[in-house]
Amino acid sequence: MVSSPTLRRRRLSRLLRELREDRGYTAKWVADQAKARSGRPRGWSESKLNRLEAGEWKRVKADDVNILLDIYKVTSQDERAAYITLAKEANQKGWWASYGNILGSGQFIGLEAEASGIRTFESMTIPGLLQTESYARAMIRGSGLVVDETDLDRRVEARMIRKQVLHRSDPPDYWAVIDEAALSRITPDLSDQLQYLLDVSTRTNIGIQVLPIDRGPHAAMTGQFVIMEFPPPDPPVVYLEVMSEELYLEKPEEIRHYQRVYDYVQAEALPTDESRDRIRQRLTSL
């Protein structure tokens, strides 16, 4: 399994938040205690602790983690060592860091890299992990947001690197429900994208279903989403992209809602064999 600093960061933040909540401490009280213990009056604040617990940080100091463990009365040396190891792993950089000016925080890719299961619904495009180079290039160029060819090349390159997650020795179980509208927007010069979908749909870890347009309104009419699942102890995450903003949902009730929505959409979509036939028909029509 690939080790992702993004997942480690989220795990560390969640565990530290749970420690505080289990002890019944307020964020302000802990921040005041940390300030007194660190000897750095300006080094700690309630907002710093809130950012740390929310995963809104880039690097964390081992000394800061040790101070919090002291406050939370974590005395087991093995347990403390596990937290410090987690902090060190969270401070590492993934391959996507070199594409920071293109991929932003890379948070989604970092989670995707270590997911054991990925379920995605796309309404108007082919999912990123299933895109061919020609299709990805056309999609990025068509967005109108990229005009520099060098920038375009790097974006396409990063997207192709992402696809390797499905072809490693321990790939995640990947399931995609694609609205038929996405297939109808594929032009003859991009027909290799349809052939690629047919090719990868035969892999044991990949499932592709087409949601026919004639099925009418469905549970995911509001847009695409991705459900990522991870080995214990990490909980699932739902990813939503709204305009230029990324949203990550982790509350149990939010996860259950999107899991139900996905079940409904999957039930409405064609079975995998009929989906391949529909993709093949579209390819033939081109």
Q: Could you read off the pLDDT of 214-240 as tens digits, one per residue?
A: 988 888 888 899 999 999 889 999 999
| 183 close to 210: Cβ distance less than 8 angstroms | yes
Task: Give the residue from 49, 64, 92 where a domain finishes.
Answer: 92
Q: pLDDT grade, residue 205 (50/70/90)?
A: very high
What's the pLDDT at 98? 87
Q: Please indicate, yes or no, whether residues 121 and 30 belong to a single structural domain of this protein.
A: no
125-150 pLDDT, tens digit per residue, is: 999 999 999 999 999 998 877 778 88
CA distances from 13 to 9, 64, 240 (A): 6, 12, 21
Q: Which helix (H) or strand (E) segment is 60 a member of?
A: none
CATH number for position 74? 1.10.260.40
CB count within 10 Å of CB 38 equals 16
Residue 238: strand pairing partners: 227, 249
Domain count, the chain: 2
Among 35, 63, 92, give the residue marking a domain's end: 92
CA distances to 66, 141, 245 from 146, rounded to whole Å, are 45, 6, 17
CA distance 102 to 64: 31
The pTM of the whole model exceeds 0.85: yes
| Mean of per-residue pLDDT scores for the chain | 92
Tell me the residue range of the domain where 130 lies: 96-285
Number of neighbours of residue 149 by Cβ within 10 angstroms:
9
Residue 122 and residue 259 in one domain = yes
Give DSSP secondary structure letters for 73-116. Answer: T---HHHHHHHHHHHHHHTS--GGGGGHHHHTT-HHHHHHTT-S
**Are 137 and 83 within one domain?**
no
83 and 100 in a single domain? The answer is no
